[in-house]
Amino acid sequence: MRLLVVEDDPDLNRQLTTALTDAGYVVDRAFDGEEGHHLGDTEPYDAVILDIGLPKMDGISVLESWRRNGRTMPVLMLTARDRWSDKVQGFDAGADDYVAKPFHLEEVLARLRALLRRAVGHAKSEFECGPVRLDSRTGRVSVSGNPVKLTSHEYRLLAYLMHHNGRVVSRTELVEHLYDQDFDRDSNTIEVFVGRIRRKLGVDIIQTVRGLGYMLAAPS
Ligand code: CA
C-alpha cells in the first residue's frame, strides 16, 4: 500500500513516515500544499494523510481540488485539537476521517487501516483466501494456522492482492502501489516476489492471468 504524507512540520512528517514505513507501507512525503497537491493529483495513492495548516496551499483547498479532479483515495486529515470548524470544513471538502493533534501514532495507524479496508469494502482487519490468512493489524500471515515469515516486500505484495481479492491486478498497478517514486520500476521484480511468496506459502493462491496480471483464488 502506497501512502502520501503531507505535513509541513519536519519532525512530525518524519515521525509519521517512520511509523508508516515500519508498519509496512510505502510512503511518499510532501512538506507544503502545492507539492502535496501535485503528488496526490498525479500518483496513485491508496490513502493520504493531509495536514490542514500547510504553507503555499492549505489542506482544505488541496482536498477540494483533488475531489474536483475525481481523485477518490481515502484522506485522513490532521487538525488542530480545538478547531472544530477545521473538521467541518474538512469533511465538507471530502475528507474520510480526521485525527486531532497531538495524536498517538497508534491511532493514526488504526484509522488508516480502517480507511484502507473500507475503501475496498472489507469490514475486518483479517483477510482470507483458502487456507491463507493475513492480519493487517499485526502483519502476520499463516497457512492452515501455521505462521509464515515473509519479508516486507513479500508481505506488501500479498496484502495488496488480499485487499483487492476478486479482481485481476496488473503488474503495473502492483509496481505503482508497492514502491515509492524513486524505485527502479522493473515489473520482472514482481514476478520474482510472486515466485517467492508461492514457495513460502506452499499453496498456490496467486494465479497468473496471462497478459493481464495476478488474481487470488482459493485452491480447489
Ligand atoms: Ca501544519
Tell me the per-residue pLDDT of 154-169, one tens digit each, with 9 for 90 and over: 999 999 999 999 899 9
Q: How far is the CA of 115 from the centre of ligand 1 (A)?
A: 22
Residue 162's closest CA among 83, 65, 46, 18?
46
User: For the packed helices 105-119 and 10-22, what is the interaxial angle rounded to 10 degrees?
Assistant: 60
d(CA 22, CA 25): 7
3-class SS at 16? helix
Residue 177 alpha carbon to ligand 1 centre in Å:
26
Which of the two residues, 190 and 180, has the higher pLDDT score? 190
The pLDDT of residue 183 is 65
Gap from CA of 76 to ligand 1 centroid (Å): 14
Q: Which domains, ranges and CATH numbers included, belong to the chain? A: 2-119 (3.40.50.2300), 126-216 (1.10.10.10)
Average pLDDT value for the chain: 92
User: What pTM did the predictor assign?
Assistant: 0.79
CA of 96 to the centre of ligand 1 (A): 19
Q: What pLDDT was estimated at residue 138? A: 87
Could you tell me the distance, in angstroms and rounded to a whole number, from the CA of residue 6 to the centre of ligand 1? 9
d(CA 49, CA 131): 34
CA Rg value for the chain: 18
62 Cα: distance to centroid of ligand 1 (angstroms): 13
Q: What are the tens digits of pLDDT across the range 82-139?
A: 778 888 899 899 999 999 999 999 999 999 999 998 888 777 888 999 999 999 888 8
